[in-house]
């Protein structure tokens, strides 16, 4: 019986049009002959023909590695990723979104890195933007909001204390590390902060979080994801989850201090930003997104308090 070493997990929702290209890219993987691996599509309650797309591929699948399918009814990326962990046969799980396309050696480089860095509980590589239209000027300052990461040619540790972490698109985790440290139900269930929360739990468990420059992915960015309303909304989402993420590995007595620092630090950054770009905030989209992030980060402690208050009301109503 084969011992699967690596699982490529693809969480998808209504991905019938996006999945084929991802699966085709995975069929082109090279240098994987020395270990056994598999592909696992996690259908997160899709309403389209996602299941049929996978079934059609399975009928004509001649590769030595398996293509598997599973279904997760509970909506949310966190639930799809948890389902992948439970269903994966591999010791390593590499998450690929249905709009990112791996280089031909992505799987082999991901597997190799795990052998060279046994203390790495999670790691991500380089994610390059494949833009349908030209991004706005100075877009590099906010490209990380769209999970675009290009951190140079040398492997290095991320800094979880400063929320310097790899995005979920292309994140590789050790199944053992996840099962021992990541809660079955995470606080962040959607794309906003879910990937960082995973790495923070692994870090708290003593695992290292790494950047591997030899893993390359292309992230398809359609034109609508560069429109002003979308980018401002995305910047707001990223900012509002800052406090919740920072408190994950903080002791109870430290929380008021950290929350105060977030408010005051973000307020200072917002004021300086307004002073610097005061003439251009209406015309400079990148500057406007940065301001939205600073303001939302400042409000994130209050957003968390509101969230906890609403949760306590809901619990009281059901008890």
Predicted pLDDT at 315:
72
Strand 120-131 and strand 172-174: the pairing is antiparallel
The predicted-structure confidence for 65-76, as pLDDT tens digits, reads as follows 999 999 999 988
The Cα-based distances of 229 to 221, 252, 286, 288 in angstroms read: 15, 37, 12, 11
Predicted pLDDT at 189:
56
Predicted pLDDT at 184:
85
* Tokens standing for residue 310: 């609403």
Which residues lie closer than 8 Å to 287 by C-beta, 6 or more apart?
138, 273, 277, 280, 281
DSSP string, 248-306: TT--GGGHHHHHHHHHHHHHHHHHHHHHHHTTTTTT-HHHHHHHHHHHHHHHHHHHHHH
Contact between 213 and 126 (Cβ < 8 Å): yes
DSSP string, 118-171: TTEEEEEEEEEEEESSPPPTTGGGTGGGGT-B---SS-EE-BGGGTB---STT-
Q: How confident is the model at residue 188 (pLDDT cuts 50, 70, 90)?
A: low
Distance CA 216, CA 300 (A): 33
Residue 255 has pLDDT above 70, yes or no: yes
Residue 124 has pLDDT above 80, yes or no: yes
Which residues lie closer than 8 Å to 52 by C-beta, 6 or more apart?
16
Of residues 309 and 177, more confidently modeled? 177
Residue 192 has pLDDT above 90, yes or no: no
Distance CA 98, CA 68 (A): 15
Q: State which H helix or E strand residue 201 sits in.
A: helix 194-204
Distance CA 28, CA 104 (A): 6
Predicted pLDDT at 148:
96
Q: How confident is the model at residue 193 (pLDDT cuts 50, 70, 90)?
A: low
Distance CA 67, CA 308 (A): 41
Which has the minimum average pLDDT: 134-143, 178-187, 254-263? 178-187
Distance CA 187, CA 197 (A): 8
- % the chain with pLDDT above 90: 85
The predicted-structure confidence for 7-41, as pLDDT tens digits, reads as follows 999 999 999 999 999 999 999 999 999 999 999 99
* Tokens standing for residue 306: 């509101």
Distance CA 144, CA 183 (A): 26
Q: Report CA 102 to chain centroid distance, whole Å.
A: 15
Distance CA 109, CA 13 (A): 27
CA atoms within 13 A on the CB side of 140: 3
The Cα-based distances of 46 to 57, 158, 191 in angstroms read: 17, 34, 17
The predicted-structure confidence for 37-67, as pLDDT tens digits, reads as follows 999 999 999 999 999 999 999 999 989 899 9
The predicted-structure confidence for 79-123, as pLDDT tens digits, reads as follows 999 999 999 999 999 999 999 999 999 999 999 999 999 999 999
- Its sign, for the CA torsion 248, 249, 252, 257, is negative
DSSP state of 88: -
Contact between 305 and 255 (Cβ < 8 Å): no
Predicted pLDDT at 19:
96
Predicted pLDDT at 249:
86
């Amino acid at each position: 019986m084969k011992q699967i070493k690596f699982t490529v997990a693809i969480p998808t929702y209504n991905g019938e049009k996006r999945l084929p290209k991802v699966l085709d890219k995975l069929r082109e993987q090279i240098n994987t002959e020395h270990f056994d691996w598999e592909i696992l599509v996690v259908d997160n309650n899709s309403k389209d023909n996602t299941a049929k797309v996978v079934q059609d591929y399975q009928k004509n699948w001649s590769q030595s590695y398996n293509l598997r399918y599973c279904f997760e009814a509970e909506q949310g990326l966190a639930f799809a990723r948890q389902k992948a962990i439970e269903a994966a046969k591999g010791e390593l799980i590499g998450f690929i979104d249905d709009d990112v396309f791996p280089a031909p050696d992505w799987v082999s480089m991901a597997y190799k890195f795990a052998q060279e860095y046994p203390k790495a509980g999670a790691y991500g590589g380089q994610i390059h933007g494949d833009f349908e239209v030209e991004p706005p000027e100075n877009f590099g300052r906010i490209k990380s909001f769209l999970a675009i990461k290009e951190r140079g040619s040398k492997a290095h540790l991320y800094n979880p204390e400063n929320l310097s972490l790899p995005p979920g698109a292309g994140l590789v985790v050790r199944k053992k590390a996840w099962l021992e440290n990541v809660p079955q139900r995470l606080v962040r269930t959607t794309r906003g902060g879910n990937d960082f929360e995973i790495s923070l739990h692994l870090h708290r468990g003593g695992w290292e979080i790494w950047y591997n420059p030899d893993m390359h992915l292309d992230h398809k960015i359609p034109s609508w994801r560069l429109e002003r309303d979308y980018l401002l909304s995305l910047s707001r989402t990223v900012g509002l989850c800052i406090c919740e993420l920072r408190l994950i590995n903080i002791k109870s007595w430290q929380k008021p201090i950290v929350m105060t620092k977030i408010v005051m630090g973000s307020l200072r950054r917002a004021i300086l930003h307004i002073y610097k770009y005061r003439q251009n905030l209406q015309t400079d989209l990148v500057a406007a997104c940065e301001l939205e992030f600073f303001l939302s980060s400042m409000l994130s402690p209050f957003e968390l308090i509101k969230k906890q208050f609403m949760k306590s009301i809901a619990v009281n109503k059901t008890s």
